[in-house]
Amino acid sequence: MMMMMMVLLRIIIAVTLSLLLCLLTMHPPNFCTATEVRCIESERHALLNFKQGLLDPSNRLASWIAAPDVDCCHWVGVVCDNRTGHVLQVHLRTFYPLTNDHQWGAHYEAYERSRFRGKINPSLLDLKYLIYLDLSYSYFNYTQIPKFLGSMRSLRYLNLSNAGFGGLIPHQLGNLSDLHYLNLGGGYIQLDGLFSVYLWFDRVVAIRGFLFVELA
C-alpha cells in the first residue's frame, strides 16, 4: 500500500512539474495542450469575406463554409502554421490544360468554368502572416491589380500571372520587401508604370540577393 502511494505521489509531482514548465516556457504554444491547433477566428472570417468577393462557377471553394466547427486550415488551398494556426499560404491557381488530344476542347471548357472571377477582397489584409498567394490563371476582367496587396508585408511569393489584370502596375507593390517571387506575366498590364517597380527590384535584389520576376 505504501509503495503504491509513493508511486502515485511521484506521478502527481511529475505532472505538476511538467505543467509548471509548460506555463513558464509557452513555446511552442501547442505543446501545452492536447487539443488540435485550429485556424484563427479572425483569419477564418477574412477568408470567408475573400470568398464572397469571388465568382466561383465550378464551386471549387465548397469546403470554405461558415460553420463554426469547420477548421479553415482544412479548406482547399489553405495552409496553416501547425503550431500557431495562422494562415500562411493560399493556393488557388487554375491549371491551364496542356493536353493536345482530341478532348482538348472539353478540357478548355472545364478550365474556363473553373477560373475565379469577381474581385479580390481587402479582407486579405487580415491575414497578417500570409507568405504565399497564388491566384494565377483566374480572370479579373482587366481590373487593376489591387493596391492594397502592397500592404501585405509578409508576402514572399505572389503569383498573379494570366489572371486577366489590366492597367498600371501599382507602385505599392514596391513595399513588399520580403518578396522572393513575383509573377505578373500574361496579363494586360501597362508597362508605363514599371519604372518605380524596377527601381524597387534593383534595391531588393541588392539587399536580399535573389528575386524572381516575370512580367511579360
Q: What is the pLDDT of residue 61?
A: 97
Per-residue pLDDT at 68: 82
Q: Write down the pLDDT at residue 35.
A: 53
* Cell numbers standing for residue 150: 502592397
pLDDT per residue rounded down to tens, the chain (216 residues): 544 444 344 434 344 434 433 333 343 433 333 457 889 999 999 999 999 999 999 999 999 999 888 899 999 999 999 999 999 999 999 998 877 777 877 888 888 999 999 999 999 999 999 999 999 999 999 999 999 999 999 999 999 999 999 888 888 988 998 999 999 888 666 654 444 455 555 544 444 444 566 655
Q: Which residues contact 25 (CB under 8 A, 6 or more apart)?
A: none
- Contact call for residues 51 and 123 (beta carbons, < 8 A): no
